């Protein structure tokens, strides 16, 4: 029998709350992307067909630098979504993440929900697990499941803010960093370290990459607020206590600019080629700005779930194609022929953005 605190009931509730914007306001804050703009190039000196959007991720070619962020699995609704996410990712040629596989260790019968390879044979896909599980579980047991899943990578989430608002959430975050270092050392596939909407400060990102993390997905603030999502599991109206944290976290665009600065070319000796942008991205333009700020790929969770909810598989494919078209048009209008050259473009920022970037570099 499942209880409200059972992982599959919790995962089903998360998906239900996130995809019912008429009842639940799960987003808060701002990302900072609106404070940035490009300098238009009226003489691009290239042709639309010569602009290449392709890149590599987790050892495979992808058609444009976008990934579907980790979301679900372990409930019937989650399984249906995962199947369509994997099929759409295969059709478009992009990477896709799955939700936390924690449930697999308790309910091995839901293995099918996470069998992405069946629907996405050629694109990279990555598993997902919490950092507390990395501390508390046998790593050998995790590696066995990753092997059975045939995953190309694993995203490990850091989410103390979410846990604190989850009634049954973890409260003890001691010794996680050391466990992560051990995990990086032995894990047979690349490890992505991500937040779930509060960002990762520069100093920690450098530390994690220096100890073997393959990628940092900032998953900054300005989009889905997981403190709010957890709060809505108890109430329909957000509580005063959770609203106090509405602007908590590092806004995604500022998180990236604190890694790479705003002067072009935006490069960092440790972090270049290892950073993913997500958290509150809501358009292809947010994606284009992310890549210009120095990220290698950009990702989204909530908009993907909402596109699927309103349009099913076809709606999802249309949404993904539209992101790709925006990126393509934007690159042409900047006169940029390939993704790797985007950090060389000039960016115009507000005074406040510049100031906050400098402040955040200290973090
Ligand atoms: C329905 C749903 C379920 C999610 N489940 C997970 C999860 O299992 N593991 C994880 O690391 N992040 C999970 N996330 C968080 C996202 O991966 C992402 O970091 C966060 O929502 C911010 O991105 P967004 O503003 O584009 O939604 C989930 C997001 C959504 C919308």
- Closest approach atom of ligand 1 to CA 195: 19
8 C-beta closer than 6 A to ligand 1: no
Q: Choose one of 69, 161, 233 to mutate for the ligand 1 pocket test, by most ligand atoms within 8 angstroms of C-beta.
A: 69
93-134 pLDDT tens trace: 999 999 999 999 999 999 999 999 999 999 999 999 999 999
Contacts 24+ apart (CB under 8 A), 145-149: 145/101, 145/104, 145/105, 146/187, 146/188, 146/189, 147/188, 148/111, 149/101, 149/114, 149/115, 149/116, 149/117
pLDDT 10s digits, 236-282: 887 899 999 999 999 999 999 999 999 999 999 999 999 999 999 99
Residue 235 has pLDDT above 90, yes or no: no
Per-residue pLDDT at 234: 87
Strands (E) across 69-163 are located at 96-97, 125-130, 153-157
- Residue 59 tokens, joined: 């050892």
pLDDT given at position 58? 98
Q: What's the mean per-residue pLDDT of the chain?
A: 96
Does residue 184 have a pLDDT over 80?
A: yes
What pLDDT is stored for residue 5 in this prediction?
A: 67
Q: Model confidence over 298-310: pLDDT tens digits?
A: 999 999 999 999 9
Assigned token pair, 202: 């520069």
Reported CATH class of domain 7-360? alpha beta
pLDDT at residue 169 is higher than 90: yes
Are 151 and 56 within 8 A, CB to CB?
Answer: no
Ligand 1 centroid to residue 130 C-alpha, Å: 12
290 lines ligand 1 (CB under 6 A): no
In angstroms, rounded to a whole number, what is the distance separating the alpha carbons of residues 336 and 340?
9
- SS3 call for 125: strand
> Is the pLDDT reported for residue 3 higher than 90?
no
Which tokens is 290 given?
């992310």
What's the confidence (pLDDT) of residue 253?
99
Residue 1 is predicted with a pLDDT of 42
Ligand 1 in contact with 74 (CB < 6 A)?
Answer: no
State what percent of residues in the chain have pLDDT above 70.
99
pLDDT at position 7: 82
- Say yes or no: CB of residue 280 within 6 Å of ligand 1: yes
| Lookup result for tokens 């790709």 | 324
User: Where are the extended beta strands (E) located within the chain?
Assistant: 36-38, 55-57, 60-62, 66-68, 96-97, 125-130, 153-157, 191-194, 215-217, 275-277, 297-300, 347-349
Of 16-20, 76-80, 191-195, the one with minimum mean pLDDT is 76-80
């Amino acid at each position: 029998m499942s209880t409200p605190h059972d992982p599959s009931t919790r995962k089903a509730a998360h998906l239900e709350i996130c995809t019912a914007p008429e009842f639940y306001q799960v987003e808060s804050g701002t990302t900072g992307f609106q404070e940035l703009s490009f300098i238009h190039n009226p003489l691009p000196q290239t042709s639309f067909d010569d602009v290449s959007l392709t890149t590599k991720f987790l050892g495979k070619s992808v058609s444009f630098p976008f990934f579907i962020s980790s979301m679900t699995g372990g409930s019937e609704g989650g399984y249906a979504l995962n199947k369509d996410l994997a099929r759409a990712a295969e059709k478009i040629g992009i990477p896709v993440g799955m939700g936390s596989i924690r449930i697999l260790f308790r309910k091995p019968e839901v293995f099918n929900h996470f069998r992405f390879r069946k629907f996405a044979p050629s694109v990279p896909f990555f598993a997902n697990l919490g950092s507390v599980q990395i501390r508390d579980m046998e790593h050998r047991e995790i590696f066995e499941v990753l092997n059975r899943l045939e995953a190309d990578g694993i995203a490990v989430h850091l989410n103390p803010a979410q846990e604190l608002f989850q009634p049954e959430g973890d409260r003890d975050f001691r010794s996680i960093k050391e466990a992560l270092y051990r995990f990086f050392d032995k894990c047979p596939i690349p490890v992505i370290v991500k937040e779930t909407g509060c960002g990762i400060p520069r100093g920690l990102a450098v530390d994690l990459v220096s100890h073997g993390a393959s990628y940092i997905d900032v998953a900054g603030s300005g989009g889905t607020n997981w403190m709010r999502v957890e709060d809505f599991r108890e109430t329909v109206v957000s509580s005063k206590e959770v609203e106090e944290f509405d602007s908590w976290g590092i806004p995604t665009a500022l998180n990236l600019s604190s890694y790479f600065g705003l002067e072009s070319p935006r490069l960092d000796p440790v972090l270049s080629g290892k950073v993913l942008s997500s958290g509150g991205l809501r358009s292809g333009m947010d994606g284009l700005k992310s890549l210009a700020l120095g990220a290698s790929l950009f990702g989204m969770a909530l908009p993907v779930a909402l596109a699927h909810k309103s349009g099913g598989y076809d709606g999802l494919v249309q949404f993904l194609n539209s992101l790709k078209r925006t990126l393509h048009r934007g690159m042409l209008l900047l006169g940029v022929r390939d993704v790797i050259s985007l950090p060389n473009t000039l960016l115009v920022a507000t005074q406040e953005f510049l100031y906050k970037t400098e402040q955040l570099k200290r973090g």
